[in-house]
Amino acid sequence: MHSMTQRLFVIACLTCVAIPLRLDASCPRPGPPCEELAKADLVFIAEVLEATSVPRRDGQGRAYPDGITNYRFNVLEAFKGVNTGEFRAQFYFGGALDLDSFQSGRRYLIFANRALTGIHKSGCSLTREITKTGEGEWLPPMRAELGLCLKKP
């Protein structure tokens, strides 16, 4: 019996150690801007004009914690895959780290990838909200670096 208890203790310890590793691995740290620009299907700065969530429902009509949000953006700067002006796109939302949600009336720098379904995901990337302080700190260097990436052969 003592041997069985030790085995269970070792298994429990290994499980506790392995869990954080799995969580970290599910959302790898984004690479440098040029690398992320090359990997993304869409890269743009936009204001969210409208966001309409469409939750998935189970057989009893209860909403799942994930679904699709239909966005209407005003693209202010287009780096890849879109043009400036109005742009509509669908993004997955939910609890997974690789998903995202954007709020109406706010601005974002978005790096998005299109799934096989045609719906986008932007989490686990350099996507972030642009705030007044953010614009003064990180946005100008990021914008300049993305511009240089686009000029490289």
- Domains in the chain, please, with CATH? 33-151 (2.40.50.120)
pLDDT string in tens for the chain (153-residue length): 455 445 433 333 333 333 333 333 477 888 899 999 999 999 999 999 999 988 777 888 887 777 889 999 999 999 999 999 999 999 988 766 656 789 999 999 999 999 898 999 888 889 999 987 767 778 888 989 998 998 876
CA dist., res. 5 & res. 144, Å (int): 59
Between CA 99 and CA 105, with CA 102 as vertex, the angle to 5 degrees is 175
pTM for this model (two decimals): 0.76
